[in-house]
Amino acid sequence: MNPRVQPRLFRPLDGLLIALILVSAAWTLPWMRTAIGKTAIVKVSGKKVMRLDLKGPERYAMVMGSEGPIDLEWGEKGVRVLKAPCANPICVRTGFILHQGNRIVCVPSRLEVEVVSGAGSIASLDGVTF
Amino acid sequence: MRIVLSIFCLGAVLAGCRSDVREDRWLAMDTEFSVTLHGRGKISPEKAFAVLHAEASRLEQRFSDYLPGSDLNRLRGEAGDTLRPDAEQALLFGLAESLSLGSHGRFDVTLGRLKHAYGLGSGEVNRVPSEAEIAHILQDNPVFQGDTVLVKPPFHLLPDGRLAILRDSLEFDFGAIAKGYTIGRLSTLLDSMGFRAHLVSAGGDMFCGGEKPKGSWRVGIRHPRLADSVCGVLKFDSSMAISTSGDYERCFFVNGVRYHHILDPSTGKPARPYCAVTVIGRGSLIADGLSTTLFVVGPERAGALLKTYSAEALWIRENPDASLCAIVSPGFTKHLKSLSIPPCKRS
Q: Which residues on A lie below 8 Å from B234 (Cβ)?
A: 129
The verdict on a CB contact (< 8 Å) between A21 and B221 is no
* Band (A26; pLDDT cuts 50, 70, 90): low
Adjacency order of strands within the sheet including B324-328: B21-28, B31-38, B197-202, B205-209, B240-246, B274-281, B312-318, B324-328
Nearest to A125 by CA among B210, B232, B40: B232
Asked if B233 lies within 8 A of A130 by C-beta distance, the reply is no
Q: Using one digit for the tens of pLDDT, what is the confidence trace for B114-125?
A: 999 999 887 789
At A38-61, the pLDDT tens digits run 888 888 887 778 888 888 788 888
- Residue B18, phi then psi, degrees to nearest 5: -95, 155
Question: At A3, is the pLDDT very low, low, confident or very high (cuts 50, 70, 90)?
Answer: low
Whether A126 contacts chain B with CB within 8 A:
yes
Q: B218 and chain A: CB distance < 8 Å anywhere?
A: yes
* Pick from A20, A50, A126: CB nearest B9: A20
Burial per residue of B143-160, b for 16 or more beta-carbon CB atoms within 10 angstroms, e otherwise = bbeeeeeeeebbbebeee
pTM score of the predicted model: 0.72
pLDDT value, residue B284: 98
- Between chain A and chain B, how many beta carbons pairs sit less than 8 Å apart? 91
Q: Distance (Å) from the C-alpha of residue B140 to the closest C-alpha of chain A?
A: 33
Of B2, B220, B249, the CB nearest to A128: B220
Backbone angles phi, psi at B223, to 5 degrees: -70, 130
Kindly determine whether residue B229 and residue A129, on different chains, have CB atoms separated by under 8 Å: no
Q: Is B208 on the interface with A (CB under 8 A)?
A: yes
Chain A CB within 8 Å of residue B333 CB: no
pLDDT beneath 70, residues of chain B: 1-19, 140-151, 228, 347
Q: Nearest-CA residue of chain B relative to A27? A: B16
CA distance B146 to chain A (A): 34
Query: pLDDT tens digit string along B171-184?
Result: 888 999 999 999 99
Residues of B in contact with A51 (CB under 8 A): 233, 338, 340
Q: Give Cβ neighbours of residue B89 (< 8 Å, ≥ 6 apart).
A: B62, B71, B72, B75, B163
Query: What's the gap in Å between the CA of B8 and the closest CA on chain A?
Result: 8
3-state secondary structure of B154: coil
Q: Are B75 and B83 in contact (CB under 8 A)?
A: yes
Confidence of residue A120 (pLDDT cuts 50, 70, 90): very low
Q: What is the mean pLDDT of chain B?
A: 89
φ and ψ at residue A96, rounded to 5 degrees? -75, 140
Residues belonging to chain B:
347
Question: CB under 8 Å to A59, separation ≥6 — which residues?
Answer: A52, A73, A74, A75
